[in-house]
Amino acid sequence: MSVYPVIISQMKFVHRDSLNYPFEERGLQFGDGVYEVIRIYSGQYYLLDEHVDRLFRSAEAIKIELTFTKEECREYLLELLKRNKMDVDGKVYLQVTRGSATRDHVFPADTPANIYAYVVKVPRPLGKLANGVGTITHPDVRWDYCYIKSLNLLPNVLAKQEAKENNCYEAILHKDGVVTECSSSNVYLVKDGKIYTHPSSKNILHGCVRMRIEQFAKDLNIPFIEEPFTIGGIEDADELFLSSSTSEVLPIVTVDDLTINGGTPGPITKKLQETYEKDAQITGAEPATSK
Ligand SMILES: Cc1ncc(COP(=O)(O)O)c(C=O)c1O
């Protein structure tokens, strides 16, 4: 995964090698910042407005003052792709922190936020989209403000690592048996033709793809029910899937020792995958569902 040469640093376009961070930086020392990951298909952003809106919500929630408007943010991000002549599938990573200052828990006075953004190539996970992935269950030990896309990802990192060590792709997080989301994605259960998922409360990240899936379900006349399901309820699931900007709509075929839908992606998941591909105007790739 190599970073394209032009990056944004402090709202300037510079070469990636010129980024130079001090030791005393709030993001590095406290995780005192927020971020976004935005999907790119064939050099075009998918759900740019939604991600920029969420960046502003996250920054406001932790009292970081942004010195640019949403419109300027979108313009900079579009220009970033142009300057890199980016025309393939990839993502932008964008981070804003409370800035560089002598280490002290208290917010520093008169310190501008640090912002950077860079672009990388990321192919679509076609094999996983077609065949589904395995998951583990894991306690959700995160804080009470999971709707903020904060840099503090240690519980997520530890859960994902445990999934990897069990040859799985994701960890399904639960609070006392109630499923919230996954370590880096939202999760859904299908039962009797209806989609169930945790309400968009403070306990989950309000995924941009989740927002689209809600709309796809409406358009397809599939009930989308914002009601949490439990780890026990997974045993009766007809289908299970997860979503994120890099995973798209990804079928889950095992949870711990349990096999879902005979170990294959189910019909509602496939329908949502097709709808996603149309919505994201994905061209030139074989449909995930036919691989
Ligand atoms: C914890 C968590 N939940 C959900 C998501 C999905 O969000 P989105 O659809 O905006 O990519 C992510 C994405 O990184 C995440 O980290």
Residue 121, number of CB atoms within 10 A of its CB: 14
Tell me how far the alpha carbon of residue 114 lies from the centroid of ligand 1, in angstroms. 22
CA–CA gap between residue 247 and residue 126 (Å, rounded): 10
pLDDT tens for residues 263-285? 999 999 999 999 999 999 997 65
Tell me how far the alpha carbon of residue 102 lies from the centroid of ligand 1, in angstroms. 32
* Per-chain mean pLDDT for the chain: 96
pLDDT tens for residues 7-60? 999 999 999 999 888 999 999 999 999 999 999 999 999 999 999 999 999 999
Please tell me if the CB atom of residue 208 comes closer than 6 angstroms to any atom of ligand 1.
yes
Pairing of strands 178-182, 239-244: unpaired
Question: Is 149 annotated as catalytic?
Answer: yes
Please tell me if the CB atom of residue 186 comes closer than 6 angstroms to any atom of ligand 1.
yes
**pTM as predicted:** 0.96
pLDDT tens for residues 176-203? 999 999 999 999 999 999 999 999 999 9
Marked catalytic residue, from 63, 121, 149, 291: 149
| Residue minimizing CA distance to atom 14 of ligand 1 | 184
Which residues fall within 8 angstroms of residue 146, CB to CB, at 6 or more apart?
180, 181, 202, 203, 204, 205
| Residue minimizing CA distance to atom 2 of ligand 1 | 184
